[in-house]
A and B are shown apart, each in its own frame.
Chain A
Amino acid sequence: MNRRVLIGAIAAATALAVVPKRARANPKKIRPPGALKPGAFEQACIGCFRCAEVCPTNCIRFPSVFSLDQATPFIDTADKACVLCMKCTQVCPTDALVPLKADPDVIAKEVRMGVPVLERSKCLPWNGQGICRLCYQVCPYPEAAVELVGPQKAPLFHPEACVGCGLCEEACPELAQAIRIFPFGSEEAAPKPLQKKGAKKSGGGA
């Protein structure tokens, strides 16, 4: 008995020493709709894959590399966007995704997957290069989340009304990729002057 306790204590101490603070799960990722807050979600998700299993657009992915959040789903909006069917929320066994009805009002109220950040220097209408408006056309909440302003009908995003589904990002012409959805808490999503961020981002983004 004593030896067992000792082994356990040593293992626990080693674990404490080995897991560095940086490795602690604090991933800034876009989670499926209805997800608990960052942190709480990683604590509730058991990686059973059910959300991805029912996702009709296959937008729910799992990381493939070794990491602490290897078993938690995320959405890569640049590749595939969420169509807000809410099926994933209904199959989650641990309520890491809180069950939601696929009702526009419910979704508008409850779902906040990420923050839209428009880089105006890349956006065609903002640069007078055309009247693209793709983001506006695909947005499930036009006028509320994105409205068209000015003579060029340039898009203006309202993060407070945006659910973060990423349909705009998916639709944005590849060359421009002006609108991107960033996860909450990420540097890019913070409400700061967009100009500087844009300049920094353009290096790695393109």
Chain B
Amino acid sequence: MTKRALQPLDITLRHGRRYQWIRRLFLGFSVALTFVLPLWHLHALDVEGAGLAADSRWAKVAEVMPNTPPPFYGAPTSVWVGVLELVDPLESLAVALFHGLSWNWVWTVLPGVVLVVLLGRFFCGWACPYLPILAAANAARWLLTRLGVPLADVKVPRSTSRVVMVGALVIGALAGTQLVPLIYPPAIVGREVFRAVFYGSLGAGALVVLGAFLFDTFVSRAGFCRSLCPGGAMFSVLANLSPLRVHNERSKCTDCTVCDVVCNLGQSPMTNTLDSGCERCGKCIASCPTQALSWSVAAPPLVQLVTLRVEGVEQKAAGAKAR
């Protein structure tokens, strides 16, 4: 029997079960919303008397929806939640690049940015509708490895996502259009679900998601989220102000690498060097056999970075290794 590398599915999430369940419930809610909202809206239009639901092949399914109008509008990257407007920071930024700032823009972008600044890159671990697809890719990797299929795991530098982000903004500016919604999985998934429900067909965006799935399965584990996703890059940049982090109590740590392996985003809780790319999924904490990891509030990564720069060569080297 050949020795194979440890994979996330090999690792049991022992501790912090409540946190995991809350996260799964929230994620389930978010993903369910992505699929249920289109049906609900379709039904709402039908109830209104628009009579167009009959055109859709999902009309029968939509009939199970309540007759009241849906409380939310929009796709995962831009949701109207009763009183709050949550728009993806990157897409907002892309709009502001063209149209400048306005009060409406501030009101739409502010709640999302405040959440990310407080909580970090939580969207990626708690709400992104691409996560089930990533889970499927990870499961496929695990299964294929078990069956003896050799799979590559290319470690694309995580800074690539920043290049993708800036590239999408720059090329979009040159082309005079919004590129982010074309390559940003949660935006695509939301749109394609709507399209499927309203028009009964998928568009080209589905191919992008399929490509991301294949990339995550055959080329690099969670590679899209970690190294290519432009929205994730934007969250990471903002999360530099988030004070939340995973603390490793080194005296309890046995250097078993389980936490490093379980992390989809290439963080290293084992060496206590998390950066702003942490998606707050808490799986490292849950997987730690000796419970050495815990949530803590510390100086935000940006402050730490500045402190490191100031404090001298030794710590600067440590900071660089953390990258």
Contact = CB atoms under 8 A, between A and B. Distances in A.
B36 interface: no
Interface residues of B, number: 58
B184 to A, nearest CB: 9
Ranked 6 nearest A-B pairs via Cβ: A25-B177, A43-B98, A47-B181, A64-B203, A56-B50, A48-B78
A153 interface: no
Nearest to B45: A56
A19 interface: yes
B98 A93 contact: no
Given A12-B170, A93-B85, A93-B87, A45 B178 contact: yes
A42 B170 contact: no
Nearest to B70: A53
Interface in B77-126: 77-78, 80, 85, 87-88, 91-92, 94-95, 98-99, 102, 104-105, 108
Given A43-B95, A93-B108, A94-B108, A53 B194 contact: yes
Interface of A: 4, 7-8, 11-12, 15-16, 19, 23-26, 39-40, 42-50, 52-58, 61-72, 91, 93-95
Contact of B99 (A43, A57, A67, A72): A43
B229 to A, nearest CB: 16
Nearest to A61: B199
Contacts of A45: 178
B171 A94 contact: no
Contacts of A62: 191, 195, 203
Interface string B32-67: 000001100100010010101001000000000000
A42 B176 contact: yes
Contacts of A47: 178, 181-182, 187, 191
Contacts of B160: 7
B201 interface: yes
B187 A48 contact: yes
Contact of A11 (B87, B163, B199): B163
Main secondary structure of the interface of A (DSSP, over half): loop
A69 B171 CA distance: 14
B167 A11 contact: yes
B53 to A, nearest CB: 9
B176 A24 contact: yes
A129 to B, nearest CB: 32
A135 B191 CA distance: 34
A65 B205 CA distance: 8
A92 to B, nearest CB: 10
B95 to A, nearest CB: 5
Given A12-B170, A65-B203, A70-B182, A43 B176 contact: yes
Interface in B144-192: 157, 159-160, 162-163, 166-167, 170-171, 174-182, 187, 190-191
A46 B78 contact: yes
Contacts of A25: 175-177
Given A71-B182, A95-B104, A46 B99 contact: no
B29 interface: no
Contacts of B38: 53
A74 to B, nearest CB: 13
B198 interface: yes
